[in-house]
Amino acid sequence: MSDMQDTLMIGTEGIKKTILHGGTGEIPKFITGAKVSFHFRTQLCDDERTVIDDSKRVGTPMEIVVGNMFKLDIWETLLASMRIGEVAEFWCDTIHTGAYPLVSKGMRRIAEGKDPVDWQLHTCGMANMFAYHTLGYDDLDELMKEPKPLYFVMELLRVHQPSEYNRETWAMSDEERLKVVPVLHGQGNKLYKQGRYEDATQKYKEAIICIKNVQTKEKAWEVPWMKLEKMANTLTLNCCQCLLRMEEYYEVIEHTTDIINQHPGTVKAFFLRAKAHGEVWNEAEARQDFSRVLDLDPGMKKVVKKELAVLSMRMEEKNQEDKTKYKGMF
């Protein structure tokens, strides 16, 4: 049976496989959602076998999620023929290698610590390429102009079945994303109560990413979009509560101001911004925000009164400190 697998694999048009180092165990199942870790080396079919990319040089293995529309789907086919620990060399004809330069560019940008998609944000990736005729790397531009057969040397490290790891948010469907939001929200709240503000912020941010992913598919300012926007804002304000505790006051002012500019009736945004302003001695701004809170929600009267008393006390203390500090100067 096992030898059959290897020869079956070669049944894919335009691929030849040579095993360089045998692996162990059965061939793992490649089901949708499985996460595959592997090292790869890409080489030209020239006399020098010129290396184009090598994940070992970068130092971290490559990871893909099966069925997640990875641009170079032939890699799934190659890896699915391998055992754990196996090293194999695949010769792939041009029909399979056309997308390689684009994929390589993304991987190189990640390795350089850049966002792999920022170059695609402004215009669609393909249009960009035709506009500039360049991917930013000479060797990839060559391959783009004239696709060639390539050698891929693969080493299969691990296959995690979907149940074995928490599926990262980018590997989820929209439905799953929305289901996971309240879970993350709850985890964040629990961590906040335990005083683990940094960890809570991470959970809230993960939930926001899920929402924003779904939101991009809706029409801006229409009902479904607004519902998602409201959810995202609630989570952002929860982040701000953590940031207040972490004494990141300017960050709080920035986030709450963004929300206020878009949604001027958000009471909690004014309240948190007022508190942050108070912490960095912006008395006038703090008072103005607290009075907006009262306009929007008169029920907050007691809380605001208490906050204003604290603010007055703090300003008084600061003025005393400043007086003594400057007294010695004159």
- Token duo for residue 108: 């190189």
**What is the rounded CA–CA span in Å between residue 317 and residue 323?**
10
Q: Pick one of 1.25.40.10, 1.10.1510.10, 3.40.50.620, 3.40.50.12780 as the CATH number of 166-246.
A: 1.25.40.10
**What is the rounded CA–CA span in Å between residue 112 and residue 293?**
45
Q: pLDDT tens-digit profile of 32-43?
A: 778 899 999 999
**CA 200 from centre of chain:** 17
Per-residue pLDDT of the chain (330 residues; tens, 9 = 90+): 344 444 445 567 899 999 999 999 999 988 877 889 999 999 999 999 999 999 998 888 888 877 765 668 789 899 999 999 999 999 999 999 988 998 898 888 877 776 554 444 333 444 444 444 577 888 998 898 888 999 999 999 999 877 655 556 566 788 888 888 888 899 999 999 999 999 999 999 989 988 988 898 889 889 999 999 999 999 999 999 999 999 999 999 999 999 999 999 999 999 999 999 999 999 999 999 999 999 999 999 999 999 999 999 999 999 888 888 887 676
- What is residue 330's predicted lDDT score, i.e. its pLDDT? 62
Q: pLDDT tens-digit profile of 311-321?
A: 999 999 998 88
- What is residue 10's predicted lDDT score, i.e. its pLDDT? 55
**HEC states along the chain?**
CHHHHHHHHHCCCCEEEEEEECCECCCCCCCCCCEEEEEEEEEECCCCCCEEEEHHHHCCCEEEECCCCCCCCHHHHHHCCCCECCEEEEEECHHHHCCHHHHHHHHHHHHCCCCCCHHHCCCCHHHHHHHHCCCCCHHHHHHHHCCCCEEEEEEEEEEECHHHCCCCHHHCCHHHHHHHHHHHHHHHHHHHHCCCHHHHHHHHHHHHHHHHHHHCCCCCCCHHHHHHHHHHHHHHHHHHHHHHHCCCHHHHHHHHHHHHHHCCCCHHHHHHHHHHHHHCCCHHHHHHHHHHHHHHCHHHHHHHHHHHHHHHHHHHHHHHHHHHHHHCCC
Domain residue ranges in the chain: 2-98+147-164, 166-246, 260-316
Entry field: residues in the chain: 330
pTM above 0.75, yes or no: no
Q: What angle do CA 294, 296, 299 make, to 5 degrees?
A: 55
* Residue whose C-alpha is closest to residue 157's, from 65, 88, 84: 84
- What is residue 7's predicted lDDT score, i.e. its pLDDT? 43
Fold equal for 2-98+147-164 and 260-316: no
Q: What angle do CA 185, 186, 188 make, to 5 degrees?
A: 65
- What is residue 216's predicted lDDT score, i.e. its pLDDT? 86
Is CATH 1.25.40.10 the right assignment for the domain spanning 260-316?
A: yes
- What is residue 119's predicted lDDT score, i.e. its pLDDT? 40
- What is residue 124's predicted lDDT score, i.e. its pLDDT? 42
Class in CATH terms, 2-98+147-164: alpha beta
- Token duo for residue 93: 């004809």
Contact yes or no for 65/38 (Cβ under 8 A): no
